[in-house]
Structures are given as C-alpha cells and as structure tokens.
C-alpha cells in the first residue's frame, strides 16, 4: 500500500491473506517474550475457550533511560497491570486490548465486521465491538511484551490525543446500546459509567480550574488575603488527598505487576500523578469535537507514528 490508510485498514487487508484460526497483532516498536506464542495458544485450546475473541498481553516499557519513559513504566503498571486485572476479575470485561500485542480469533473479527477503519484506536474499538456482540475478551498478565514509548513531550501528547479520541469515539458509538440495555452485561455497563464520569470530570477540571484562577485574581485585586488563604488551603488538602489515594493505588500496582520488579520506579510516581493526569484531562477535552466528527462520518483512522530509535531487547529481570 503506497498510501497510509491506517492501521485498521492494514489489519483488514492482512486478515484476507491469513489462513490460520488465530492472528497475532504485533507493532513495529514492540518485542514480545520468546514464549508468548505458546502462552497465547494455551488460552485458546481450552474446552471453555470457544467464546474467547482475543487475549491481550501485559505491556511494559523497553526504553527506560529518560525520566519521561521511567514515569510511563509506573503508568503502564497502573492503567494496564492492575486496572485490567480488576476489570476482568470483578466485571468480567476489559476496556481495551493492548493494540501493540494481542492475539485475535479470526472468526471473532469477521463476526463484528473486522476493524473499524475510521477509528483513532482500533484496539479500544474492536474490544468493545467484541464484547457488545457477546464475545469474551481476556487479559493475560503473565504474557509480557516490551514497547518503545515516546521520549519527548510532543510525541507523548500526540499519542495521548489519539488514545483520548479513540476512547471518546467508543463512548459515543455505544452510548445508545448501553443506555437502552444496561443489564445485558452489568460489567460492561459499569465500565461505561466509569468512562462517562472520566469525560465529565475532564471538562469540570478545566472549568473549575479557570474559575479558581479567576477567583484568586479577583481576591488579589481586592486585597482579600483571607479568602486567598482559604482557597489555597482547600486546594492543597484536595491535592494531598488525591496524591495519597493515587500512591496507594500505584504501590499496589507496582507490587502486583511483574512480581514486584518495578517497585523501584515508585520514585517517579509524583511526575505521573501530577503531569499525566492533567495531560489526560486535556486530551479528552481537546479531542472531543474531533471524536464527534468521526461518529458523524467525517473522521479518519490514520495518524503519524511517533519517532522510533530502534529497540534493544533486554531481559526483564535486568530492568
């Protein structure tokens, strides 16, 4: 293909040539563990596996030299390692596959009409398509793969904009189905409600921040130091509560994920909690209108890949 028509389009073309029952998706910047194929197959050969649509692996950071990459090591343990475990264990569903490395059942892809080619994130979209159609999506924490993550703020922001846009697209696509049939799959509905609150919170975060700054400005002009002190004190208390709660969650995720080998990266947790949470709120707000346009048929599933320096394969025990 001479023209970039998106990852989903390339997937769909490749599936036309695939002869096997199972298809492994692996990104160019991703290196799976040597025994990952055997571990994947074990999920699909069980007697109760006929309704498994896909199994997604546990992603880890390969390039950990820079501070921004080290903080993503903490983030991946949090948003992937422990949250997907919780989603699958408690709700029986997962929000998304890890698009960098996932094994799909070919019949399950065909059943939902293959990958949506106009979506920003094919992994989130196909995971919801599968589960809305009654398929079972699994997370395999013991199957590890290592991916090259963005090492600059520009590349990171571009990646997170795509992730946020893809999540909102899925939310808009399935809103009516979940709203009309909330009890068909309670776990899925709970995840949908959680995502709804995340989107609402992102907008309120920036609205309340603007009101907060404007109020401080007004009180500073009028010389009302008591109100300024009160506002800053309350803000400090709320941030402390958020940081303490986040720290408990991150400590648990670093202990559980990869048998506790990542606990040493807890030092970089403050950067993740202060910076990445704000970035996620920003990307949800800035990509909301483009996501709406995609649902209206005006979107595209193409994007510019982040800069890659090439992957050096290392043993995870050395990290």
CA distance 144 to 233: 43
145 phi/psi in degrees, rounded to 5: -140, 155
Q: Is 8:117 a contact under the CB 8 Å cutoff? A: yes
Cβ-contact 192, 178 below 8 angstroms: yes
DSSP helix/strand/coil, 43? helix
What is the pLDDT, as a whole number, of residue 104? Answer: 95
Cα separation, 170 vs 172, in Å, equals 5
Q: Can you say whether residue 119 is alpha, beta or left, with left for phi > 0 and alpha for psi between -120 and 50 degrees?
A: beta
One digit per residue, pLDDT tens: the chain, 319 residues? 566 667 888 888 888 898 889 999 988 888 998 899 999 999 998 878 889 999 999 888 888 888 888 888 888 887 777 888 888 888 888 999 988 899 999 999 999 999 998 888 889 999 999 999 989 999 998 898 998 888 888 888 998 999 999 999 999 999 999 999 988 888 889 999 999 999 999 999 999 999 999 999 999 998 889 999 999 999 999 888 888 888 888 888 888 776 767 777 777 777 777 777 888 899 999 999 999 998 888 766 555 655 666 555 555 444 4
> For the chain, what is the total number of helices (H) and then of strands (E)?
12, 5
Name all domains of the chain by residue range, CATH numbers in brackets. Answer: 11-301 (3.90.550)
Q: Among candidates 148, 122, 136, 149, which has minimal Cα distance to 87?
A: 136
d(CA 215, CA 218): 5
Provide the pLDDT for residue 7.
84
Q: What is the pLDDT of residue 40?
A: 94
- Sequence-separated (6 or more) residues with CB below 8 Å from residue 43: 49, 52, 55, 103, 138, 140
The whole-model pTM stands at 0.83
How close are the terminal C-alpha atoms of the chain, in Å?
38
Euclidean distance between CA atoms 101 and 262, whole angstroms: 21
pLDDT at 171: 94
């Amino acid at each position: 293909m001479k023209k970039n028509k998106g990852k989903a389009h390339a997937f769909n073309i490749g599936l036309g040539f695939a002869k096997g029952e199972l298809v492994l998706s692996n990104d160019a910047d991703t290196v799976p563990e040597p025994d990952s194929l055997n571990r994947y197959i074990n999920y699909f050969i069980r007697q109760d596996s006929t309704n498994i649509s896909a199994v997604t692996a546990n992603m880890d950071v390969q390039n950990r030299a820079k501070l921004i990459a080290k903080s993503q090591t903490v983030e991946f343990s949090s948003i992937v390692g422990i949250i997907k475990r919780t989603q699958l264990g408690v709700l029986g569903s997962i929000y998304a596959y890890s698009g960098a490395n996932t094994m799909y059942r070919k019949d399950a892809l065909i059943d939902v009409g293959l990958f949506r080619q106009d979506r920003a994130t094919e992994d989130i979209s196909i995971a919801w398509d599968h589960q809305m159609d009654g398929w079972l999506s699994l997370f395999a924490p013991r199957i590890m793969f290592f991916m090259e993550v963005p090492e600059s703020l520009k590349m990171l922001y571009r990646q997170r904009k795509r992730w946020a846009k893809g999540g909102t697209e899925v939310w808009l696509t399935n809103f009516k189905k979940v709203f009309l049939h909330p009890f068909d799959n309670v776990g899925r509905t709970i995840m949908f409600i959680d995502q709804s609150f995340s989107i609402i919170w992102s907008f309120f975060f920036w609205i309340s921040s603007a009101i907060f700054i404007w109020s401080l400005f007004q009180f500073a002009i009028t010389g009302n130091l008591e109100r300024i002190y009160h506002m800053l004190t309350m803000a400090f208390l709320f941030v402390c509560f958020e940081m303490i709660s986040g720290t408990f969650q991150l400590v648990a995720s670093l202990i559980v994920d990869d048998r506790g080998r990542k606990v040493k990266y807890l030092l970089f947790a403050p950067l993740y909690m202060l910076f990445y949470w704000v970035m996620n709120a920003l990307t949800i707000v800035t990509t909301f209108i483009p996501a709406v346009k995609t649902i209206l048929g005006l979107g595209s599933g193409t994007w510019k890949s982040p800069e890659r320096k090439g992957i050096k394969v290392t043993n995870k025990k050395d990290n």
